[in-house]
Amino acid sequence: MDTIVALSSGSLPSGVAIIRISGPKASKAVTALGAQITKPRQASLQTFYDPDGSVIDEGLVLWFPSPHSFTGEDVVELQTHGSRAVVAGILDVLSAYDGVRHAEAGEFARRAFTNGKIDLTEAEGLADLIDAETTAQRKVAQYLATGGLKELYKGWQDQLLNARAMIEADIDFADEDDVPGSVADQVWQDMAALQRSISHHLEGYDRSERIRDGFKISLVGKPNVGKSSLLNALAGSDRAIVSSEAGTTRDVVEVRMDIAGYLVLLSDTAGIREQAGAVEAEGIRRSIVSAEQADLVLYLSDDDNWDHDLIGKNSNVITIRSKADLGKLTPTDEEAIHVSVNDSASLLRILDMLSLRIKEELDRSRAGSAIKSRYIDHLHQCLKDIKLAIESEDALELRAEHLRAAAYSLGRITGQYDTEDVLGRIFSSFCIGK
């Protein structure tokens, strides 16, 4: 197998760069730089040279012999200054060494999977951790990356294996004194409990998507009620055009925010009114679609005229009385929140309210929140096979086969059984050097 090398740290220039080498020639390749391997897992300060004897840089060398490394292979990591010229010079020397080449995207992680250091859920968690923008995303990614789902699914596989063993014992040794009568009743009770656990787990997929992709909040209302001003105030920047002219916003303007540790996609929509030109009418249509697809609608009005038909079919709505500093009439809707973009206290009240609402929606089981779309079909197939095993009137041998198929579906999630194209899709999404 080739030895691979790549920059594993972030973009250059930077204070420090980490160059990773993995494979059978890792320890020998560094000698091309004039460096030497020392004690495992201990950093040593050394000087790196190019082939003509010129100094490239001075940095740290760390040696991780197989199998005690990220990839399970011999690994050397070099910590250098994060200069483009320094990193390029070192990579040129290493990749010129016989049997060493530049790594492909995700190749280090794929080798870790191939060598049994991580399973597919841990690999996907690692990718999510690298991309995490918020505290919630980081926590879910860490749960995946540290084997949380792997252990959960392995436990379910063990339950299915034990059930099959009990059934086979019932079949093969029914006449033996040391096999207590029929074990079928207990087996099917256990499988019914497992069925409930998996179903409950699947209920977390919606939360998982919203944590990963963002909790969608749509600002909706008639023209000139302060939607753009409120978006700019909450975002802390001028992202939307503010004007006294009705119909200024012609399209949906989206801002990414971190509220209570969750990624939030806050959308300012076109003011909804009956008389509008063709371009504005298209913006209004998009506003209605945005409201219907949002996880939460903030419906703004600056008077008592609350037209809830504007929000479409979405029932998750908070009404907000905007321009409260202008002293207009108090709205008849007592649930409305009064806000002025000129009053920081009222803006903080909205953020606090949004934090509570988002936590109520998303802050639940971390296991359920870690489900990825790739897992859904396999989990549903697992449930289907367990259901067939429980409800079937076939012979025990056939019912046991349904349980084997259920365990196989779980194994496809973790990578215990899977096809090359699935592995390729997962690891190709990684950056080079990971």
338: domain CATH number is 3.40.50.300
Does 117 show up as a binding residue in the annotation? yes
Does 203 show up as a binding residue in the annotation? no
User: In terms of domains, do 206 and 143 share one?
Assistant: yes
Does 248 show up as a binding residue in the annotation? yes
Kindly state the average pLDDT of the residues 154-172.
88
Task: Assign 242 a pLDDT band (cuts: 50, 70, 90).
Answer: very low
Does 316 show up as a binding residue in the annotation? no
pTM of the model: 0.81
Does 434 show up as a binding residue in the annotation? yes
Q: Worst-scoring range by mean pLDDT, 23-27, 195-199, 275-279, 428-432?
A: 275-279
Q: What's the confidence (pLDDT) of residue 283?
A: 61
Does 107 show up as a binding residue in the annotation? no
For 68, other C-beta atoms within 10 Å of its C-beta total: 12
- What CA–CA distance (Å, rounded) separates 157 from 139? 25
User: In terms of domains, do 242 and 160 share one?
Assistant: no
Does 424 show up as a binding residue in the annotation? no
Judge whether 430 lies within some domain.
Answer: no
Does 246 show up as a binding residue in the annotation? yes
- What CA–CA distance (Å, rounded) separates 364 from 376? 19
- Total count of residues recorded for the chain: 434
Does 286 show up as a binding residue in the annotation? no
Does 228 show up as a binding residue in the annotation? yes
Task: Assign 433 a pLDDT band (cuts: 50, 70, 90).
Answer: confident
Per residue in 268-322, pLDDT tens? 887 654 455 555 566 666 777 778 889 999 988 876 666 666 666 667 888 888 8
Judge whether 76 lies within some domain.
Answer: yes
Q: What's the confidence (pLDDT) of residue 369?
A: 79
Counted domains in the chain: 3
Judge whether 203 lies within some domain.
Answer: yes
Please check the confidence at residue 183 and state whether its pLDDT lies above 60: yes
Does 305 show up as a binding residue in the annotation? no
Does 268 show up as a binding residue in the annotation? yes
| Angle 154-109-427 from CA coordinates, rounded to 5° | 90
Judge whether 427 lies within some domain.
Answer: no
Per residue in 382-416, pLDDT tens? 999 999 999 988 888 899 999 999 999 999 999 98
Which structural domain range is residue 344 located in?
216-363
Does 77 show up as a binding residue in the annotation? yes
Per residue in 333-387, pLDDT tens? 556 788 888 888 989 999 999 999 999 888 776 777 789 899 999 999 999 999 9
Across 223-349, where does the E strand assignment appear?
Answer: 253-259, 262-268, 296-301, 317-321, 337-338
User: In terms of domains, do 35 and 114 share one?
Assistant: yes
Does 245 show up as a binding residue in the annotation? yes
Starting at the edge strand found earlier in the chain, the sheet holding 253-259 runs 253-259, 262-268, 215-221, 296-301, 317-321, 337-338
Does 433 show up as a binding residue in the annotation? no
Does 227 show up as a binding residue in the annotation? yes
User: In terms of domains, do 358 and 221 share one?
Assistant: yes
